[in-house]
Structure 1
Amino acid sequence: MIEIQNLSVKYDSQIALENINLKLEHPSLLVIMGPNGAGKTTLLKSILGLVEYEGKIKIFGKEPEESRNIIGYMPQRDRVNTNIPLKVKDVVLMPLLSRYYFGIRLEDVKNAKRALERVGMLHYWDKNFSSLSGGEQQRVFLARVLAQSSKILILDEPFSATDVATKMKMAGILHKLKREKTIIIVTHDVNPLVECTDKLLLLRKRVIAFGDVMDVLNEENMEKLYGVKVPIVRRENVCYVLGGDVHVHH
């Protein structure tokens, strides 16, 4: 479980987050949406213990700094130096290298292969990473996080540079993963995840709304969030954002 109480973050005198409160059960999937500058990445970094904050954050009863070994983090626009001729296997194994002085264990190789298999990329094991498309690279980055066998996955814009087919593939992978892991995703496009999301957080420095998708995803809340009208379509027990990718700058 992740529990956040009265969380506030300031950069110099600028408020980045103000009085955030939420609880998340384990395992589950939380989607965070909001305009640019809304504090989404700051919230992720607070959970990771990478920024100074006021308030309380407990991850399975521990402080963020004590919980990093159970969290896998996929940052926004993750990059690999393409001047170095890395293979896909090198990218996935990279975080595991730092754990041991004596190189990679056989168990790590197995975990890396299993993770690539889960994202449908095992046959790229020996391929040059730089030869992959943007969407394929994102799937390798997701495999890299999965290979760490973390209880909690934090993904910042995992769908950037991906086409619709890749988005749907990745959403399917995350749907299966949420049975065993807690997943927190920042995204501008909630539609691929609508049917597997347990909780939706609309964030604009403060909590605009937090709860079940059907309760939170409505035109009134979206207008509060983005400052413009965003049509919502409801079909049976599912609702979608018309136009899908909401990316409003402020």
Structure 2
Amino acid sequence: MSNDSDSYDQNFCYPLPKALENDRVKLVPFVPSIHAKEFFDLSSKYSEVYEYLPWGPFKDQDDFESVFEERFRQNPTWMLFAVFDKTKPSEAFGEDGALAGAMGYINSMPVNLATEIGAVIVFPPFQRTHVASNAVGLMLQYALNTPGEGGLGLRRIVWQANYLNKASINLAQRLKFQLEGILRWDRVLPANLGKELAGNGRGVRAKDPKPDCVGRDTAMLSLCWDDWESGAEEHLAAEMARTK
């Protein structure tokens, strides 16, 4: 397992450690040969995790790996992590724990010292537990801490969510992301993936070029370095330490 991971070219624009982890969760760069089968099996069992995402569910593992290759592997501004719950035993991944989901840095902009946390999937057995807050927390700590503290020293972290996805918005705000606004008609959702209920509820005009594709309104939130140094870092640490 480690040899496959070590030799896999992640093609990401920021430097990364081999893992982001604490005593509860562990995030490692997603490597299809290691993680894809288990991830696809779980996401097929819990297909509702794709309700608000602009891609998925997938018809088979090859379909998933094709989307992963296009969106993450070939795009140096995107990096997907496999998320493990270290408190749960796992035959598949040993001491790493149970595969709890995935999330990534996306739409990264090194020239502007910015990135976005997105593609957030936490499987239902791990929802409303320590997993989401700790996994997102580790990503925030690495992104916002200065290089002298072992981080990237970024200035701005973005969080975008379908405006209907209250759970995602609530998680971001609980971790001190600030709502900047709602982007109206921000996305065209694909017609062939059953995303109609994730649309903004407003019909498209006559002669629209994509009449069968609903539109998405997007909540835009951010957490910036000055928020981080004005109390958000300490608040996050408390959230990550919560046991209830």
TM-score greater than 0.5 by the shorter chain:
no
Write 1 or 2 for the structure with the bigger share of helix.
2
Q: Which has the higher contact order (CA 8 A, sep 6+)?
A: 1
TM-score, normalising length: structure 2: 0.28
TM-score, normalising length: structure 1: 0.28
